[in-house]
Amino acid sequence: MATTDTEILAVTGNEAVAEAMGQIDPDVVCAYPITPQTEVVQLYAQMVADGKVSSEFVTVESEHSAMSAVIGSAAGGARTMTATSSQGFALMWEVLFIAASYRLPIVMTTVNRALSGPINIHCDHSDTMGGRDTGWIQLYGENHQEAYDNCIQAVRIAEHMDVRTPTMQMYDGYVISGAIGPLQMLTKEQVQAFIGPYHATNPMLDTKNPVTVGPFDGLHGWYFEHKVSQNRAMDRALTVIQDVADEYAEISGRQYGLLDPYCLDDAEVAIVVVGSTAGTTRVAVDKLRAQGVKAGMVRVRAFRPFPHEAYAKALEHVKVVGVMDRADSFGAQGGPVFLEVRAALYDSDPRPQILPFIYGLGGRDIFPDNIEQAFAVLQKAAQSKKRTSTERRYLNLRED
Amino acid sequence: MATKTGTKQKPAAGLTEIRWHARGGQGAVTAAKMVAELALGQNKYFQAFPEYGPERSGAPIVAFTRVSDEPIQIYAGIEHPQIVVVLDPSLLGIVDVTKGAPADAIVLVNSEMSPAELRRHYHLEGFHYYTIAATRIAVETIKRAIPNTPMVGALTRITGLFPIDEVVTFLRADFGKKFPPKVVEGNINAITRSYEEVQAE
């Protein structure tokens, strides 16, 4: 595969990310290389075997062990990466918090797929939405290109001295991960220059300056203060994510932000959506705009930290906002993105109505028709004098 | 409250949507991807993906290809294909392969029959049917009963999406990286023969 910056390649989403990892060429990659993994680490293992990268590739016996090995490697002082998906992510659960609390700048790709049961291997966002409080930075990509671009930017974000927090970058399982789409790559030299050399802080392998990592904090220790410092790093990450995106735009010509607005300036109705469905939503917005409907969209990119002020600013002039979640929070007022967006707009005056939509669980397809149906609900609410019920609306749910 | 899909969507100008129906093992996903890569060679935008399910040899599967002059943003299965490619004629009695297709859709079927015979045999109405004996051509050229590359040859002729010379050049370069020359030439023969032998109504 050639690596000029102009050539367009036809690749799967997983191939795009494996190529990004190959160009990053981290010191260590630890992974559990069988299902529920993705092709990403399989492709990476091939690069290691072919001598195309210099990474130490550590295969382990489970995803819990994969994350544990990644933590050990990163604490030792190595630039470390891994990839996972679905149940594998779920099995990493308890150690995800430890990676974040040790402030290890690990980068992990997570291909978004459903959680069992019933057993289901298809796309939804239940896996990482469930991990939103682990203390990791979360970036959600839309397509092949962004999966590649986010993987590279994640290194700089995680390793930034104002942040030093592990970062996971996501894209939709199968819809992107297994589909063929276009990709423009940077050269390996450009990527290396962008990420720069890795400087570990307090590495355990620096035997002249011994440190302890992960000791018992004691009953009257600093656990509470430690958690507050994690949250402050998250606040600072908002600036860093944007700065890194701006710098990346200079070498790639592709500009990213904390969120990705579309046709919002004069919008009366708008949808907030995560992942590949944003593309399908833009198609629906274009169609409605052609019919004279003032429709708009926001695609979520950074979900942790959640840039609530930016959402308030982007959406406060909109009459009705529909939030489409591809994961549910059972018993809550709506899905995770809905709750976040609704809270972000609470202080706005006038305050838009915010309605929850659930779609695509377990890989249920989402067509432009379905998104137009959601917009129809928003338009009706915008014209109504009464506030519209915030019951969940399900898109493309079977009723037979 | 629940909403369902219903209304018809018109494809955007310059967009070609192809739906592939096959059985697991016939190489439909490879063919769908091959057409996407051919589109790349024509400086067009492309997208190819299977409708994922358990991989079971012989079970009905569906795959999709989009080719466009504009960047492709939509990420959904193809509901209203302009072109339907059926790699296994036995699916005609089992799967509604033309579901959602517009009246002027092209349906290309792997069959020894002429389109008229196919219509009589399977009681088919409407659409524009084409046939190609892809399995026989595959056996005679590639020496394996995998009808995918012959179907791409026939599709090239019917749609005019790509010049046949470019398809041959692509195959020689792309397959040349992965397979021995005998296999490459077999596939090129399969494509060019199918290009010549596809039957219209």
Q: Where are the alpha helices (DSSP H) in A180-263?
A: 188-195, 223-252
Residue A15 touches chain B, beta carbons under 8 Å:
no
Query: What's the mean pLDDT in B89-114?
Result: 96
Q: Do B74 and A180 touch (CB under 8 A)?
A: no
Query: What's the mean pLDDT in A39-68?
Result: 96
Contacts of residue B45 in chain A, CB cutoff 8 Å?
182
Residue A400 lies in a domain: no
Rounded to 10 deg, the angle between the A93-101 and A63-76 helix axes is: 10
Question: Do A150 and A204 reside in the same domain of the chain?
Answer: yes
Residue A303 lies in a domain: yes
Alpha-carbon distances, residue A301 vs A130, A144, A153, A361, A392 (angstroms)? 17, 14, 12, 20, 23
What is the spatial distance between Cα A109 and Cα A121, in angstroms, rounded to a whole number?
Answer: 17
Residue A296 lies in a domain: yes
CA A264 to chain centre: 22
Residue B30 has pLDDT above 80, yes or no: yes
Domain that residue A337 falls in: 259-395
CA A131 to chain centre: 11
Residue A329 touches chain B, beta carbons under 8 Å:
no
Q: What is the mean pLDDT of chain A?
A: 95
| Residue A273 identity (one-letter amino acid) | V
Question: Do A285 and A146 reside in the same domain of the chain?
Answer: no
Residue A399 touches chain B, beta carbons under 8 Å:
yes
Question: Do A22 and A165 reside in the same domain of the chain?
Answer: yes
| B157, B164 Cβ separation under 8 angstroms | yes
Interface pTM (ipTM) of the complex?
Answer: 0.91
pLDDT at B9: 44
Question: Do A203 and A288 reside in the same domain of the chain?
Answer: no
Listed by start position, the domains of chain B span 15-197
Residue of B nearest to A400 (CA): B4
B contact residues 74-103, partner A, Cβ 8 Å cutoff: 74-77, 79
Residue A2 lies in a domain: no
Residue B6 has pLDDT above 70, yes or no: no
What is the spatial distance between Cα B199 and Cα B173, in angstroms, rounded to a whole number?
Answer: 28
Question: Do A67 and A168 reside in the same domain of the chain?
Answer: yes
Spell out a b/e string for A222-259, using b for 16 or more CB atoms within 10 Å of the CB, else e.
eeeeeeeeeeebbebbbebbbebbeebeeebeeebbbb
Residue A353 sits at φ, ψ, to 5 deg, of -80, 140
Beta-carbon neighbour count of residue B168 at 10 Å?
17
Residue finishing a domain among A210, A226, A252 = A252
Question: Do A226 and A373 reside in the same domain of the chain?
Answer: no
The predicted model scores a pTM of 0.94
Residue B32 has pLDDT above 80, yes or no: yes
Residue A86 touches chain B, beta carbons under 8 Å:
no
Residue A17 sits at φ, ψ, to 5 deg, of -75, -40
Local confidence band at A36 (pLDDT 50, 70, 90 cut-offs): low
Structure tokens at A26: 């981290």
pLDDT digits (tens, 9 = 90+) for A188-218: 999 999 999 999 999 999 999 999 998 899 8
Q: Do A279 and B3 touch (CB under 8 A)?
A: no
Whether omega for the bond prior to residue A350 falls within 30 degrees of 0, making it cis, is yes
Question: Do A276 and A236 reside in the same domain of the chain?
Answer: no
Contacts of residue A393 in chain B, CB cutoff 8 Å?
1-3
The CATH number assigned to the domain holding A149 equals 3.40.50.970
Question: Do A178 and A37 reside in the same domain of the chain?
Answer: yes
Residue finishing a domain among A197, A220, A252 = A252
Give every strand in the sheet of A167-172, ordered side by side. Answer: A56-59, A28-31, A80-85, A107-112, A167-172, A137-140, A302-304
Residue B53 has pLDDT above 90, yes or no: no
Secondary structure class of A182 (helix, strand, coil): strand
**Residue A201: how many CA atoms within 13 Å on its side-chain side?**
13
Residue B122 touches chain A, beta carbons under 8 Å:
no
Beta-carbon neighbour count of residue A117 at 10 Å?
6
How many cross-chain Cβ pairs, A to B, lie less than 8 Å apart?
Answer: 93
Alpha-carbon distances, residue A363 vs A139, B75, B76 (angstroms)? 20, 12, 11
Question: Do A62 and A198 reside in the same domain of the chain?
Answer: yes
pLDDT at B54: 64
Secondary structure class of B40 (helix, strand, coil): helix
Report the top-level CATH class of B15-197.
Answer: alpha beta
The number of distinct structural domains making up chain A is 2
- Work out the minimum CA distance from A63 to partner chain B, whole angstroms: 23
Residue of B nearest to A390 (CA): B1
Which of B6, B36, B75 minimises the CB distance to A277? Answer: B75
Question: Do A14 and A160 reside in the same domain of the chain?
Answer: yes
What is the spatial distance between Cα B102 and Cα B109, in angstroms, rounded to a whole number?
Answer: 17
Question: Do A80 and A226 reside in the same domain of the chain?
Answer: yes
Residue B6 touches chain A, beta carbons under 8 Å:
yes
Calculate ∠ Cα A379-A381-A387, nearest 5°. Answer: 165
What is the spatial distance between Cα A44 and Cα A17, in angstroms, rounded to a whole number?
Answer: 9
Residue finishing a domain among A252, A282, A306 = A252
Q: Do B1 and A395 touch (CB under 8 A)?
A: no
Residue A278 lies in a domain: yes
Residue A292 lies in a domain: yes
Residue A379 sits at φ, ψ, to 5 deg, of -65, -40
Residue of A nearest to B174 (CA): A1
Query: What's the mean pLDDT in B1-28?
Result: 71
Q: Do A399 and B4 touch (CB under 8 A)?
A: yes
Q: Hey, which residues does A243 pair with through a beta bridge?
A: none
| A76, A43 Cβ separation under 8 angstroms | no
Which of A174, A176, A182 minimises the CB distance to B45? Answer: A182
Question: Do A187 and A265 reside in the same domain of the chain?
Answer: no
